[in-house]
Amino acid sequence: MEENFIIANKIDEIPVLAGKIEELATSWGIPLPVCMNINLALEEAISNIIFYAYTDKEKHSINISISLSNNQIVIIIEDDGILFDPTSFKQPDINLPAEERPIGGLGIFLMIKTMDEILYSRKHDNNYLTLKIQM
């Protein structure tokens, strides 16, 4: 099973995408906790793309492919923004008091914690972020 979505680089697209993921989860029989983790990871990934990937104010498309096979959900997010590999991002030290932690980085940390595997590649000036999670 596979579904594809294309959204614009606008923050108000995120709740629309979340609704589509919830509908998909119902039709595919994805458990609610897995659906919630998917939506959390997607919200973090997509918002990072929207806020940081583009150096212009033009409209860009973000492609999301979601497939289910052998109880594994694979999500591929493709964008034409600047190169950014979230898998190389240094994880924050969550044991530090909040006032000693640098600002930012928790979104990527949450993606890593909610997904089973995260992969990144860059092809033809596009970023490909792959998120995998077992049902």
Residue 105 or 15, more confident: 15
**Are 9 and 59 contacting, i.e. CB atoms less than 8 angstroms apart?**
yes
- Show me where the domains of the chain are located: 2-134
On the question of pLDDT at 45 being above 90, the answer is: yes
Mean predicted confidence (pLDDT) in 69-89: 91
* The model's pTM: 0.86
On the question of pLDDT at 78 being above 70, the answer is: yes
On the question of pLDDT at 94 being above 60, the answer is: no
Residue 11 confidence class, pLDDT cut points 50, 70, 90: very high
On the question of pLDDT at 106 being above 70, the answer is: no
Does 2-134 carry CATH code 3.30.565.10? yes
Euclidean distance between CA atoms 120 and 87, whole angstroms? 7
Average pLDDT, rounded, for the chain: 89
pLDDT of residue 4: 97
Mean predicted confidence (pLDDT) in 60-74: 97
On the question of pLDDT at 24 being above 90, the answer is: yes
Q: Which two tokens stand for residue 106?
A: 């928790």
Residue 107 confidence class, pLDDT cut points 50, 70, 90: low
- Work out the end-to-end distance of the chain between its first and last CA atoms, rounded to an integer number of angstroms: 14
- Residue 130 sits at the vertex; the CA angle it makes with 49 and 63, to the nearest 5 degrees, is 50
Task: Tell me the Cα Rg of the chain.
Answer: 15
